[in-house]
Copies of this chain bind each other. A is one copy, B any other.
Amino acid sequence: MSHTHRFFSDVVTADMSYVELSGEEAHHALRVARVRPGDGVSVFDGKGLEIIGECDRIDKRSVYIRAVRTTHHAPPPVRVTVAVGGLHRDKAQETVVRRAAEMGAWRVCFWHADHSQRPIKPTERWRKTAIEACKQCGRVYLPEVDTAPSLEAFLKQHNGPCIIGLLTKDAAAGAPTISMADNVALLIGPEGDFSEQERNAALNAGAQPVSLGSYTYRSEVAAALLMTIVACAIGDLGPGVALDMPRK
């Protein structure tokens, strides 16, 4: 059986037996993936709906897909919001969005930080990057990507537990136990780290500090580390591993 090509469409519904891909997704299907009649194709709507079918026919601008079955995937048990202080490099922002989509995050929010040197400008690339990442890895929930004018503004919007990633020296001494709700926000400092005021605002709002070690990670790396730590704890990466350490 050939590889199943994955495509995104936000106009598909569960009752469709025939799907037409057009626009950019059709362009990608025809020119890059080179889908041909008979190929296995799946189309997801970014909200858990996945239509699995077969390419029926193609023309110059569209791909026509006959649905074979429709699946509604359950949302993740915990909706993770990745809230990162404004990054100045577009590439760093895209790295965060891509990894967040790969790790099944629900939302990415770039907040304007005290240490941000210029406002964060939303770009079409964010959504495109998230769609690409979902297509590549097989996730069917597309994270929303937005901005907040400050960490305080983000904290006011967010209704649920928060985890703040800090250096070991600034975090608690032991491993905290965090009571999860069906959502959690992961707070990551910008380039230049949280300001004193931001850190205090987060801690006063009840954010639980989690250690990311003793090294100075780039924001996008800190975000990836914290997403991975939380994904492990949630069980999204499977059962995990225990290491029996050597005695010195």
| Contact of A168 with B by CB under 8 A | yes
Minimal Cβ-Cβ distance residue in B for A227: B228
Partner of A180, one of B182, B231, B236, B245: B245
Chain B residues with CB under 8 Å of A233's CB are 240-243
A176 touches B77 (CB 8 A): no
| CB neighbors of B among A205-248 (8 A) | 208, 210-218, 221, 224-225, 228-234, 236-246, 248
Given A168-B238, A182-B246, A213-B237, 19 other A-B residues pairs in contact with their CB atoms under 8 A? A77-B245, A78-B243, A102-B215, A102-B217, A102-B221, A175-B241, A175-B242, A177-B241, A178-B241, A180-B245, A208-B241, A211-B240, A212-B237, A212-B238, A224-B228, A229-B237, A230-B241, A233-B242, A234-B243
Contact flag A178-B234 (CB < 8 Å), given A217-B102, A221-B99: no
| Contact of A199 with B by CB under 8 A | no
Measured as residues with beta carbon below 8 angstroms from the partner, the interface class of chain A is: 35 or more
Instruction: Flag the segment in A30-38, A81-89, A134-142, A143-151 that touches B.
Output: A134-142
Q: Which residues of A contact B (CB under 8 A)?
A: 77-78, 99, 102, 104, 136-139, 163, 168, 171-182, 208, 210-218, 221, 224-225, 228-234, 236-246, 248
Chain B residues with CB under 8 Å of A231's CB are 213
A240 touches B175 (CB 8 A): yes
B241 touches A163 (CB 8 A): yes
A246 touches B77 (CB 8 A): yes
Contact flag A228-B228 (CB < 8 Å), given A221-B99, A237-B212: yes
Partner of A245, one of B174, B221, B234: B234
A238 touches B171 (CB 8 A): yes
